[in-house]
Structure 1
Amino acid sequence: MNLALYLLAIVIGVITGGITSLIGASGVMIIVPILTMLFKVSVHTAIGTSLFVDVIASLTVSYSYYKNGNIELKSGIWIALTSIIGAQLGASFASKMGEGNLSSSFGIVLVLAGLSMVRKSYKEKKDSSDTLSKLVNFKKEWQKILSALVIGLGIGILSGIFGAGGGVMILLALIVLMSFPLHKAIGTSTLIMAITALSSTVGYGVRGNIDFVLGSLLSVGAVVGGIIGSRYANKVNEKTLQKVVGICFMAMGIIMTAIEIIK
Protein backbone atom coordinates (compact mmCIF):
# COMPACT_ATOMS: atom_id res chain seq x y z
CA MET A 1 0.00 0.00 0.00
CA ASN A 2 1.53 3.32 -1.08
CA LEU A 3 1.67 6.66 0.73
CA ALA A 4 -1.32 8.07 -1.18
CA LEU A 5 -3.55 5.27 0.11
CA TYR A 6 -2.29 5.79 3.66
CA LEU A 7 -3.20 9.48 3.42
CA LEU A 8 -6.56 8.62 1.85
CA ALA A 9 -7.33 6.33 4.78
CA ILE A 10 -6.65 9.17 7.24
CA VAL A 11 -8.85 11.59 5.25
CA ILE A 12 -11.66 9.03 5.20
CA GLY A 13 -11.24 8.73 8.96
CA VAL A 14 -11.60 12.49 9.40
CA ILE A 15 -14.87 12.45 7.44
CA THR A 16 -16.08 9.47 9.46
CA GLY A 17 -15.33 11.19 12.77
CA GLY A 18 -17.08 14.33 11.57
CA ILE A 19 -20.23 12.42 10.61
CA THR A 20 -20.28 10.59 13.94
CA SER A 21 -19.91 13.84 15.88
CA LEU A 22 -22.75 15.59 14.04
CA ILE A 23 -25.39 12.87 13.78
CA GLY A 24 -24.16 10.01 15.93
CA ALA A 25 -24.00 7.73 12.88
CA SER A 26 -21.63 4.93 11.96
CA GLY A 27 -19.13 5.72 9.20
CA VAL A 28 -19.68 2.31 7.63
CA MET A 29 -21.38 3.69 4.52
CA ILE A 30 -18.19 5.57 3.73
CA ILE A 31 -15.60 3.10 5.00
CA VAL A 32 -16.93 -0.22 3.67
CA PRO A 33 -17.37 0.78 -0.02
CA ILE A 34 -13.97 2.50 -0.12
CA LEU A 35 -12.14 -0.37 1.57
CA THR A 36 -13.67 -2.90 -0.77
CA MET A 37 -13.22 -0.88 -3.98
CA LEU A 38 -9.91 0.96 -3.47
CA PHE A 39 -8.11 -1.14 -0.88
CA LYS A 40 -9.37 -4.50 -2.21
CA VAL A 41 -10.50 -5.65 1.23
CA SER A 42 -13.15 -8.36 1.58
CA VAL A 43 -16.61 -7.23 2.65
CA HIS A 44 -16.44 -8.99 6.02
CA THR A 45 -13.03 -7.49 6.78
CA ALA A 46 -14.27 -4.06 5.66
CA ILE A 47 -17.24 -4.30 8.05
CA GLY A 48 -15.05 -5.53 10.91
CA THR A 49 -12.55 -2.74 10.31
CA SER A 50 -15.37 -0.20 10.13
CA LEU A 51 -16.70 -1.36 13.49
CA PHE A 52 -13.21 -1.07 14.97
CA VAL A 53 -13.05 2.55 13.78
CA ASP A 54 -16.57 3.17 15.09
CA VAL A 55 -15.40 2.26 18.60
CA ILE A 56 -12.57 4.81 18.50
CA ALA A 57 -14.62 7.55 16.83
CA SER A 58 -17.63 7.06 19.11
CA LEU A 59 -15.57 7.13 22.30
CA THR A 60 -13.87 10.34 21.15
CA VAL A 61 -17.15 12.01 20.27
CA SER A 62 -19.03 10.82 23.36
CA TYR A 63 -16.27 12.15 25.64
CA SER A 64 -16.60 15.57 24.03
CA TYR A 65 -20.38 15.51 24.52
CA TYR A 66 -19.88 14.32 28.11
CA LYS A 67 -17.69 17.33 28.87
CA ASN A 68 -20.54 19.54 27.66
CA GLY A 69 -23.10 17.72 29.84
CA ASN A 70 -24.81 16.08 26.87
CA ILE A 71 -24.84 12.41 27.89
CA GLU A 72 -27.67 10.74 29.82
CA LEU A 73 -27.50 6.98 30.38
CA LYS A 74 -30.32 6.66 32.90
CA SER A 75 -32.71 5.57 30.14
CA GLY A 76 -30.28 4.78 27.32
CA ILE A 77 -28.44 2.14 29.37
CA TRP A 78 -31.27 -0.33 28.74
CA ILE A 79 -30.71 -0.06 24.99
CA ALA A 80 -26.98 -0.56 25.51
CA LEU A 81 -27.43 -3.73 27.56
CA THR A 82 -29.34 -5.76 24.98
CA SER A 83 -27.51 -4.18 22.04
CA ILE A 84 -24.35 -5.97 23.22
CA ILE A 85 -26.12 -9.34 23.08
CA GLY A 86 -27.69 -8.48 19.73
CA ALA A 87 -24.34 -7.42 18.28
CA GLN A 88 -22.81 -10.80 19.08
CA LEU A 89 -25.76 -12.61 17.52
CA GLY A 90 -25.55 -10.43 14.43
CA ALA A 91 -21.81 -10.99 14.00
CA SER A 92 -22.23 -14.76 14.25
CA PHE A 93 -25.01 -14.78 11.65
CA ALA A 94 -23.39 -12.25 9.31
CA SER A 95 -22.01 -14.82 6.87
CA LYS A 96 -25.31 -16.69 6.69
CA MET A 97 -27.82 -13.90 6.21
CA GLY A 98 -28.60 -11.59 3.29
CA GLU A 99 -29.63 -7.94 3.53
CA GLY A 100 -32.71 -8.30 1.34
CA ASN A 101 -34.64 -5.05 1.19
CA LEU A 102 -33.56 -3.92 4.67
CA SER A 103 -31.17 -1.24 3.39
CA SER A 104 -33.77 0.38 1.15
CA SER A 105 -36.44 0.20 3.86
CA PHE A 106 -34.13 1.77 6.41
CA GLY A 107 -33.18 4.38 3.82
CA ILE A 108 -36.80 5.41 3.46
CA VAL A 109 -37.14 5.65 7.24
CA LEU A 110 -34.10 7.94 7.33
CA VAL A 111 -35.52 10.21 4.62
CA LEU A 112 -38.82 10.55 6.49
CA ALA A 113 -37.06 11.14 9.80
CA GLY A 114 -34.85 13.77 8.17
CA LEU A 115 -37.82 15.57 6.68
CA SER A 116 -39.56 15.53 10.05
CA MET A 117 -36.52 17.02 11.82
CA VAL A 118 -36.02 19.76 9.24
CA ARG A 119 -39.73 20.63 9.37
CA LYS A 120 -39.66 20.72 13.18
CA SER A 121 -36.65 23.06 13.15
CA TYR A 122 -38.78 25.73 11.45
CA LYS A 123 -41.63 25.49 13.96
CA GLU A 124 -42.11 27.88 16.82
CA LYS A 125 -40.80 26.72 20.17
CA LYS A 126 -44.27 26.17 21.57
CA ASP A 127 -45.03 23.75 18.71
CA SER A 128 -41.69 22.00 18.66
CA SER A 129 -42.47 19.20 21.10
CA ASP A 130 -41.91 15.75 19.71
CA THR A 131 -45.22 14.64 18.19
CA LEU A 132 -43.97 11.12 17.58
CA SER A 133 -43.06 10.66 21.23
CA LYS A 134 -46.63 11.54 22.18
CA LEU A 135 -47.88 8.70 20.00
CA VAL A 136 -45.62 6.30 21.89
CA ASN A 137 -46.76 7.26 25.37
CA PHE A 138 -45.75 4.77 28.07
CA LYS A 139 -47.81 5.13 31.23
CA LYS A 140 -45.53 2.90 33.31
CA GLU A 141 -41.75 2.87 33.61
CA TRP A 142 -41.46 -0.89 32.99
CA GLN A 143 -43.12 -0.45 29.58
CA LYS A 144 -40.45 2.04 28.52
CA ILE A 145 -37.69 -0.22 29.84
CA LEU A 146 -39.07 -3.30 28.06
CA SER A 147 -39.39 -1.33 24.82
CA ALA A 148 -35.81 -0.09 25.16
CA LEU A 149 -34.55 -3.64 25.74
CA VAL A 150 -36.28 -4.89 22.58
CA ILE A 151 -35.03 -1.92 20.56
CA GLY A 152 -31.50 -2.48 21.84
CA LEU A 153 -31.56 -6.14 20.81
CA GLY A 154 -32.71 -5.25 17.30
CA ILE A 155 -30.13 -2.47 16.97
CA GLY A 156 -27.35 -4.79 18.11
CA ILE A 157 -28.30 -7.50 15.63
CA LEU A 158 -28.36 -5.03 12.75
CA SER A 159 -25.04 -3.55 13.79
CA GLY A 160 -23.45 -6.98 14.01
CA ILE A 161 -24.75 -8.14 10.64
CA PHE A 162 -24.28 -5.04 8.55
CA GLY A 163 -21.94 -2.87 10.63
CA ALA A 164 -24.37 -0.03 9.98
CA GLY A 165 -27.51 1.65 11.23
CA GLY A 166 -26.81 1.21 14.93
CA GLY A 167 -25.96 4.82 15.77
CA VAL A 168 -28.76 6.31 13.72
CA MET A 169 -31.34 3.87 15.07
CA ILE A 170 -30.23 4.53 18.65
CA LEU A 171 -30.49 8.26 18.01
CA LEU A 172 -34.01 7.90 16.61
CA ALA A 173 -35.04 5.72 19.56
CA LEU A 174 -33.76 8.25 22.09
CA ILE A 175 -35.52 11.13 20.32
CA VAL A 176 -38.82 9.37 19.56
CA LEU A 177 -39.30 6.99 22.48
CA MET A 178 -37.44 8.77 25.27
CA SER A 179 -37.90 12.41 24.23
CA PHE A 180 -34.21 13.31 24.59
CA PRO A 181 -33.12 16.82 23.50
CA LEU A 182 -31.09 16.48 20.28
CA HIS A 183 -27.67 17.33 21.75
CA LYS A 184 -28.15 14.85 24.59
CA ALA A 185 -29.53 12.23 22.21
CA ILE A 186 -26.46 12.46 19.95
CA GLY A 187 -24.04 12.29 22.87
CA THR A 188 -25.80 9.35 24.48
CA SER A 189 -26.24 7.46 21.19
CA THR A 190 -22.54 7.72 20.35
CA LEU A 191 -21.58 6.23 23.72
CA ILE A 192 -24.09 3.40 23.29
CA MET A 193 -22.82 2.88 19.73
CA ALA A 194 -19.26 2.58 21.05
CA ILE A 195 -20.39 -0.21 23.39
CA THR A 196 -22.35 -1.97 20.64
CA ALA A 197 -19.56 -1.58 18.08
CA LEU A 198 -17.02 -2.95 20.57
CA SER A 199 -19.12 -6.07 21.04
CA SER A 200 -19.41 -6.52 17.26
CA THR A 201 -15.70 -5.79 16.80
CA VAL A 202 -14.80 -8.62 19.15
CA GLY A 203 -16.99 -10.95 17.10
CA TYR A 204 -15.30 -9.97 13.83
CA GLY A 205 -11.83 -9.89 15.40
CA VAL A 206 -12.13 -13.46 16.67
CA ARG A 207 -12.90 -14.50 13.10
CA GLY A 208 -9.86 -12.60 11.76
CA ASN A 209 -11.99 -10.06 9.91
CA ILE A 210 -10.26 -6.82 10.97
CA ASP A 211 -7.39 -5.06 9.18
CA PHE A 212 -5.71 -3.36 12.14
CA VAL A 213 -3.27 -1.39 9.97
CA LEU A 214 -6.03 0.26 7.96
CA GLY A 215 -8.18 0.51 11.08
CA SER A 216 -5.46 2.40 12.94
CA LEU A 217 -4.99 4.88 10.09
CA LEU A 218 -8.72 5.44 9.79
CA SER A 219 -8.96 5.85 13.56
CA VAL A 220 -6.31 8.57 13.62
CA GLY A 221 -8.40 10.59 11.18
CA ALA A 222 -11.62 9.71 13.03
CA VAL A 223 -10.26 11.13 16.29
CA VAL A 224 -9.34 14.42 14.57
CA GLY A 225 -12.68 14.64 12.75
CA GLY A 226 -14.60 13.70 15.89
CA ILE A 227 -12.94 16.38 18.01
CA ILE A 228 -13.48 19.12 15.41
CA GLY A 229 -17.06 18.11 14.65
CA SER A 230 -17.99 17.76 18.33
CA ARG A 231 -16.80 21.28 19.11
CA TYR A 232 -19.09 22.65 16.40
CA ALA A 233 -22.07 20.43 17.25
CA ASN A 234 -22.01 21.25 20.97
CA LYS A 235 -21.98 25.00 20.29
CA VAL A 236 -24.76 25.32 17.71
CA ASN A 237 -28.34 25.80 18.87
CA GLU A 238 -30.90 22.99 18.77
CA LYS A 239 -32.76 24.19 15.70
CA THR A 240 -29.61 24.58 13.59
CA LEU A 241 -28.47 21.12 14.64
CA GLN A 242 -31.88 19.71 13.77
CA LYS A 243 -31.51 21.06 10.24
CA VAL A 244 -27.99 19.63 9.89
CA VAL A 245 -29.03 16.23 11.23
CA GLY A 246 -32.20 16.19 9.14
CA ILE A 247 -30.34 16.96 5.92
CA CYS A 248 -27.70 14.31 6.71
CA PHE A 249 -30.42 11.74 7.44
CA MET A 250 -32.12 12.47 4.12
CA ALA A 251 -28.83 12.24 2.20
CA MET A 252 -27.93 8.94 3.87
CA GLY A 253 -31.41 7.55 3.25
CA ILE A 254 -31.36 8.50 -0.44
CA ILE A 255 -27.91 6.94 -0.88
CA MET A 256 -28.91 3.69 0.86
CA THR A 257 -32.10 3.41 -1.19
CA ALA A 258 -30.33 4.22 -4.46
CA ILE A 259 -27.62 1.61 -3.83
CA GLU A 260 -30.23 -1.05 -3.18
CA ILE A 261 -32.15 -0.12 -6.36
CA ILE A 262 -28.96 -0.23 -8.45
CA LYS A 263 -28.20 -3.73 -7.12
Structure 2
Amino acid sequence: MESAELIGYVAAIVAGLVIGLAGGGGSILTVPIFVYLFQIPPVLATAYSLFVVGTTSLVGSIGYAVKKQIDFTVTAAFAIPSFLSVFLSRRFLVPALPDPLLQIGSWALPRNEAILYFFAFVMIMAAQAMLRQPVLEQPETVRPRFGLLALDGLGVGLLTGTIGAGGGFLIVPMLVLLAGLPMHRAVATSVLIIAVNSFVGFSGDLHRTDLDWRFLIEFTAFSVSGIILGIYLARFVPPAQLKRGFGGLVLAVAVYMLINELIKS
Protein backbone atom coordinates (compact mmCIF):
# COMPACT_ATOMS: atom_id res chain seq x y z
CA MET A 1 0.00 0.00 0.00
CA GLU A 2 1.39 3.39 -1.01
CA SER A 3 1.79 6.14 1.58
CA ALA A 4 -0.89 8.31 -0.07
CA GLU A 5 -3.40 5.45 0.15
CA LEU A 6 -2.48 4.80 3.78
CA ILE A 7 -3.07 8.48 4.57
CA GLY A 8 -6.37 8.23 2.69
CA TYR A 9 -7.63 5.37 4.85
CA VAL A 10 -6.58 7.21 8.02
CA ALA A 11 -8.41 10.28 6.72
CA ALA A 12 -11.51 8.12 6.19
CA ILE A 13 -11.43 7.22 9.90
CA VAL A 14 -11.05 10.90 10.80
CA ALA A 15 -14.01 11.88 8.60
CA GLY A 16 -16.21 9.29 10.30
CA LEU A 17 -14.89 10.32 13.70
CA VAL A 18 -15.95 13.92 13.14
CA ILE A 19 -19.46 12.89 12.06
CA GLY A 20 -19.79 10.78 15.20
CA LEU A 21 -18.50 13.51 17.49
CA ALA A 22 -20.18 16.57 15.96
CA GLY A 23 -23.12 15.18 13.99
CA GLY A 24 -21.77 16.24 10.59
CA GLY A 25 -18.96 17.96 8.75
CA GLY A 26 -16.66 15.02 8.14
CA SER A 27 -18.26 14.07 4.84
CA ILE A 28 -16.96 17.26 3.22
CA LEU A 29 -13.50 15.66 3.08
CA THR A 30 -14.38 12.46 1.25
CA VAL A 31 -14.20 13.86 -2.30
CA PRO A 32 -10.76 15.51 -1.79
CA ILE A 33 -9.52 12.25 -0.24
CA PHE A 34 -10.64 10.27 -3.28
CA VAL A 35 -9.32 12.80 -5.82
CA TYR A 36 -5.94 13.73 -4.34
CA LEU A 37 -4.93 10.64 -2.37
CA PHE A 38 -6.45 7.86 -4.50
CA GLN A 39 -6.30 9.67 -7.87
CA ILE A 40 -9.98 9.02 -8.64
CA PRO A 41 -11.65 11.26 -11.27
CA PRO A 42 -13.86 13.95 -9.64
CA VAL A 43 -17.21 12.81 -11.06
CA LEU A 44 -16.60 9.21 -9.92
CA ALA A 45 -15.30 10.54 -6.59
CA THR A 46 -18.63 12.28 -5.94
CA ALA A 47 -20.42 8.96 -6.56
CA TYR A 48 -18.09 7.14 -4.14
CA SER A 49 -18.57 9.91 -1.61
CA LEU A 50 -22.36 9.48 -1.68
CA PHE A 51 -22.04 5.78 -0.80
CA VAL A 52 -19.51 6.40 1.97
CA VAL A 53 -21.45 9.33 3.45
CA GLY A 54 -24.72 7.39 3.25
CA THR A 55 -23.39 4.28 4.97
CA THR A 56 -21.49 6.19 7.63
CA SER A 57 -24.43 8.48 8.44
CA LEU A 58 -26.85 5.55 8.52
CA VAL A 59 -24.73 3.88 11.20
CA GLY A 60 -24.74 7.13 13.16
CA SER A 61 -28.51 7.58 12.81
CA ILE A 62 -29.24 4.17 14.34
CA GLY A 63 -28.02 5.37 17.72
CA TYR A 64 -30.09 8.54 17.47
CA ALA A 65 -33.18 6.52 16.51
CA VAL A 66 -32.75 4.22 19.50
CA LYS A 67 -32.61 7.29 21.74
CA LYS A 68 -35.77 8.63 19.99
CA GLN A 69 -34.05 11.89 19.05
CA ILE A 70 -35.09 11.88 15.37
CA ASP A 71 -38.19 13.81 14.26
CA PHE A 72 -39.56 11.62 11.47
CA THR A 73 -42.31 14.08 10.48
CA VAL A 74 -39.80 16.84 9.83
CA THR A 75 -37.52 14.31 8.14
CA ALA A 76 -40.26 13.46 5.64
CA ALA A 77 -41.12 17.12 4.96
CA PHE A 78 -37.49 18.00 4.26
CA ALA A 79 -36.30 14.77 2.74
CA ILE A 80 -38.95 13.84 0.16
CA PRO A 81 -38.26 16.85 -2.12
CA SER A 82 -34.56 16.50 -1.32
CA PHE A 83 -34.60 12.85 -2.43
CA LEU A 84 -36.18 13.84 -5.73
CA SER A 85 -33.65 16.61 -6.28
CA VAL A 86 -30.58 14.53 -5.45
CA PHE A 87 -31.67 11.59 -7.62
CA LEU A 88 -32.47 13.73 -10.66
CA SER A 89 -29.22 15.66 -10.32
CA ARG A 90 -27.14 12.44 -10.14
CA ARG A 91 -29.03 10.57 -12.83
CA PHE A 92 -29.48 13.36 -15.35
CA LEU A 93 -27.80 16.69 -14.45
CA VAL A 94 -24.25 15.54 -13.68
CA PRO A 95 -23.96 13.22 -16.71
CA ALA A 96 -25.38 15.99 -18.93
CA LEU A 97 -22.77 18.56 -17.92
CA PRO A 98 -20.75 19.42 -21.05
CA ASP A 99 -17.00 18.96 -21.16
CA PRO A 100 -15.55 21.55 -21.23
CA LEU A 101 -18.17 23.18 -19.04
CA LEU A 102 -17.25 26.66 -20.25
CA GLN A 103 -15.20 27.88 -23.19
CA ILE A 104 -14.28 31.43 -24.12
CA GLY A 105 -12.05 31.67 -27.16
CA SER A 106 -9.02 29.46 -26.59
CA TRP A 107 -9.65 29.21 -22.84
CA ALA A 108 -11.68 26.23 -21.60
CA LEU A 109 -12.86 25.07 -18.18
CA PRO A 110 -12.97 21.24 -18.07
CA ARG A 111 -15.91 19.65 -16.26
CA ASN A 112 -13.73 17.88 -13.68
CA GLU A 113 -11.94 21.12 -12.76
CA ALA A 114 -15.24 22.99 -12.52
CA ILE A 115 -16.60 20.41 -10.07
CA LEU A 116 -13.49 20.75 -7.90
CA TYR A 117 -13.69 24.57 -7.94
CA PHE A 118 -17.33 24.39 -6.88
CA PHE A 119 -16.52 21.81 -4.22
CA ALA A 120 -13.74 24.02 -2.82
CA PHE A 121 -16.22 26.91 -2.62
CA VAL A 122 -18.69 24.73 -0.68
CA MET A 123 -15.85 23.63 1.63
CA ILE A 124 -15.06 27.26 2.39
CA MET A 125 -18.72 27.87 3.32
CA ALA A 126 -18.73 24.76 5.51
CA ALA A 127 -15.48 25.79 7.21
CA GLN A 128 -16.87 29.26 7.87
CA ALA A 129 -19.97 27.74 9.47
CA MET A 130 -17.85 25.48 11.70
CA LEU A 131 -15.37 28.20 12.68
CA ARG A 132 -17.99 30.78 13.58
CA GLN A 133 -20.15 28.34 15.57
CA PRO A 134 -23.19 30.66 15.48
CA VAL A 135 -25.66 30.33 18.32
CA LEU A 136 -29.01 29.44 16.79
CA GLU A 137 -31.83 30.83 18.89
CA GLN A 138 -34.87 28.63 19.21
CA PRO A 139 -37.80 30.31 17.38
CA GLU A 140 -40.68 31.50 19.53
CA THR A 141 -43.08 29.39 17.49
CA VAL A 142 -42.33 25.69 17.16
CA ARG A 143 -44.78 25.14 14.30
CA PRO A 144 -42.75 23.78 11.37
CA ARG A 145 -42.85 25.76 8.13
CA PHE A 146 -43.14 22.80 5.81
CA GLY A 147 -43.18 24.80 2.57
CA LEU A 148 -39.84 26.43 3.32
CA LEU A 149 -38.43 23.12 4.55
CA ALA A 150 -39.38 21.53 1.22
CA LEU A 151 -37.71 24.32 -0.77
CA ASP A 152 -34.58 24.02 1.35
CA GLY A 153 -34.67 20.27 0.80
CA LEU A 154 -34.68 20.79 -2.96
CA GLY A 155 -31.61 23.03 -2.71
CA VAL A 156 -29.68 20.69 -0.42
CA GLY A 157 -30.55 17.74 -2.65
CA LEU A 158 -29.13 19.55 -5.66
CA LEU A 159 -25.94 20.31 -3.72
CA THR A 160 -25.61 16.73 -2.47
CA GLY A 161 -26.18 15.29 -5.91
CA THR A 162 -23.69 17.60 -7.56
CA ILE A 163 -20.72 17.37 -5.22
CA GLY A 164 -21.39 14.23 -3.18
CA ALA A 165 -21.34 15.89 0.27
CA GLY A 166 -24.03 15.49 2.90
CA GLY A 167 -24.72 19.19 3.47
CA GLY A 168 -25.20 18.88 7.22
CA PHE A 169 -23.83 22.38 7.76
CA LEU A 170 -26.86 23.64 5.78
CA ILE A 171 -29.47 21.18 7.05
CA VAL A 172 -29.00 21.64 10.80
CA PRO A 173 -29.60 25.45 10.88
CA MET A 174 -32.72 25.05 8.72
CA LEU A 175 -34.15 22.36 11.00
CA VAL A 176 -33.65 24.66 14.00
CA LEU A 177 -34.98 27.83 12.37
CA LEU A 178 -37.74 26.44 10.15
CA ALA A 179 -38.85 23.36 12.08
CA GLY A 180 -38.25 24.65 15.61
CA LEU A 181 -36.21 21.61 16.59
CA PRO A 182 -33.83 21.76 19.56
CA MET A 183 -30.21 21.51 18.45
CA HIS A 184 -29.70 17.89 19.55
CA ARG A 185 -32.82 16.76 17.65
CA ALA A 186 -31.81 18.83 14.62
CA VAL A 187 -28.41 17.11 14.52
CA ALA A 188 -29.97 13.66 14.90
CA THR A 189 -32.59 14.34 12.22
CA SER A 190 -29.95 15.79 9.92
CA VAL A 191 -27.81 12.64 10.10
CA LEU A 192 -30.77 10.49 8.97
CA ILE A 193 -31.61 12.90 6.13
CA ILE A 194 -27.98 12.85 4.98
CA ALA A 195 -27.92 9.05 5.06
CA VAL A 196 -31.02 8.52 2.93
CA ASN A 197 -30.23 11.50 0.69
CA SER A 198 -26.81 10.05 -0.09
CA PHE A 199 -28.14 6.58 -0.86
CA VAL A 200 -30.82 8.01 -3.15
CA GLY A 201 -28.13 10.01 -4.93
CA PHE A 202 -25.87 6.99 -5.25
CA SER A 203 -28.71 4.99 -6.81
CA GLY A 204 -28.45 7.36 -9.75
CA ASP A 205 -24.92 6.04 -10.33
CA LEU A 206 -25.64 2.33 -10.14
CA HIS A 207 -25.68 2.16 -13.93
CA ARG A 208 -21.96 2.98 -14.01
CA THR A 209 -19.60 0.18 -15.01
CA ASP A 210 -16.47 1.67 -13.40
CA LEU A 211 -17.46 1.29 -9.74
CA ASP A 212 -14.75 -0.50 -7.77
CA TRP A 213 -16.92 -2.14 -5.10
CA ARG A 214 -14.07 -3.81 -3.24
CA PHE A 215 -12.24 -0.53 -2.75
CA LEU A 216 -15.47 1.30 -1.92
CA ILE A 217 -16.47 -1.19 0.78
CA GLU A 218 -12.96 -1.17 2.28
CA PHE A 219 -12.90 2.63 2.45
CA THR A 220 -16.42 2.74 3.90
CA ALA A 221 -15.44 0.24 6.60
CA PHE A 222 -12.72 2.62 7.81
CA SER A 223 -15.15 5.53 7.82
CA VAL A 224 -17.78 3.53 9.73
CA SER A 225 -15.19 2.54 12.33
CA GLY A 226 -14.49 6.24 12.76
CA ILE A 227 -18.12 7.16 13.41
CA ILE A 228 -18.53 4.33 15.92
CA LEU A 229 -15.47 5.61 17.78
CA GLY A 230 -16.77 9.18 17.49
CA ILE A 231 -20.16 8.30 18.98
CA TYR A 232 -18.36 6.74 21.95
CA LEU A 233 -15.95 9.68 22.42
CA ALA A 234 -18.79 12.24 22.08
CA ARG A 235 -19.46 11.72 25.78
CA PHE A 236 -16.00 13.05 26.64
CA VAL A 237 -15.00 15.53 23.89
CA PRO A 238 -16.67 18.98 23.60
CA PRO A 239 -18.09 18.96 20.03
CA ALA A 240 -17.89 22.77 19.71
CA GLN A 241 -14.08 22.74 20.11
CA LEU A 242 -13.81 19.83 17.70
CA LYS A 243 -15.85 21.62 15.03
CA ARG A 244 -13.69 24.73 15.23
CA GLY A 245 -10.51 22.69 14.84
CA PHE A 246 -11.99 20.65 12.02
CA GLY A 247 -13.24 23.82 10.36
CA GLY A 248 -9.65 25.02 10.15
CA LEU A 249 -8.64 21.73 8.50
CA VAL A 250 -11.48 21.96 5.96
CA LEU A 251 -10.47 25.53 5.12
CA ALA A 252 -6.84 24.49 4.61
CA VAL A 253 -7.88 21.65 2.28
CA ALA A 254 -10.12 24.01 0.30
CA VAL A 255 -7.26 26.48 -0.17
CA TYR A 256 -4.98 23.62 -1.25
CA MET A 257 -7.56 22.49 -3.80
CA LEU A 258 -7.90 25.97 -5.27
CA ILE A 259 -4.14 26.51 -5.50
CA ASN A 260 -3.61 23.05 -6.99
CA GLU A 261 -6.28 23.50 -9.65
CA LEU A 262 -5.05 27.02 -10.53
CA ILE A 263 -1.49 25.75 -10.93
CA LYS A 264 -2.62 22.89 -13.19
CA SER A 265 -4.70 25.19 -15.36
Q: Could you say which residue in structure 1 is the equivalent of 2:89?
A: 90
Residue of structure 1 equivalent to 2:53: 54
Q: Deviations over 1:32-66 (max 9, x none)?
A: 22323333322222211111111210111111222
Look up the match of 1:38.
37
Identity of aligned residues (%): 24
The amino acid that maps onto 1:13 is: A
Identify unmatched segments of 5+ residues in structure 2.
Answer: 102-113
> Which has the larger displacement, 211-220 or 38-47?
38-47
Shift in CA distance, 38/109, structure 1 to aligned 2, threshold 3 Å: closer
Matched residues in 2 for 1:254 and 1:7: separation? Answer: 20
**TM-superposed deviation, 1:205:** 2.0
Question: 1:213 maps to what in 2?
Answer: 214
The answer on whether the counterparts of 2:17 and 2:26 sit within 8 Å (CA) in structure 1 is: no
- The answer for the alignment partner of 2:147 in structure 1 is 146
Q: Distance in 2 between matches of 1:109 and 1:37?
A: 21
TM-aligned CA deviation for residue 28 of structure 1: 4.7
Paired amino acid for 2:87 = Q
Cα distance in structure 2, aligned partners of 1:254 and 1:199 = 30
Quote the Cα distance in structure 1 between the aligned partners of 2:224 and 2:40.
23
Q: Quick check: 1:113–1:246 contact (8 Å CA) kept in 2? A: no
Instruction: Judge conservation of contact 2:7–2:37 (CA < 8 Å) in 1.
Output: no
Q: Residues of 1 paired with 2:41 and 2:117: CA distance? A: 22
Using structure 1 for the length normalisation, give the TM-score. Answer: 0.77
SS of the residue 2:57 aligns to: helix
In 1, Cα distance between the equivalents of 2:115 and 2:5?
31
Corresponding residue for 1:124?
Answer: none
Q: RMSD of aligned C-alpha atoms?
A: 3.1
Counterpart CA distance in 2 for 1:49 and 1:161 is: 12
Q: Deviations over 1:107-150 (max 9, x none)?
A: 45434433442x64xxxxxxxxx34x64xx77965xx1011111
Query: Equivalent residue of 2:206, what SS?
Result: helix
Q: How many residue pairs end up in the alignment?
A: 244
Q: Corresponding residue for 1:183?
A: 184
CA distance in 1, matches of 2:146, 2:43: 33
Which protein has the bigger helix share?
Answer: 1
CA distance in 1, matches of 2:25, 2:130: 16
Q: Distance in 1 between matches of 2:39 and 2:253?
A: 22
What residue is the counterpart of 2:106 in the other structure?
none
Q: 1:258–1:182: structure 2 CA closer, same or farther, 3 Å change rule?
A: farther
How do 1:229-244 residues align onto structure 2 when only pairs under 5 Å count?
Answer: 229-233=230-234, 235=235, 240-244=238-242
What corresponds to 2:129 in structure 1?
113
Structure 1 gaps of 5+ residues are: 121-129
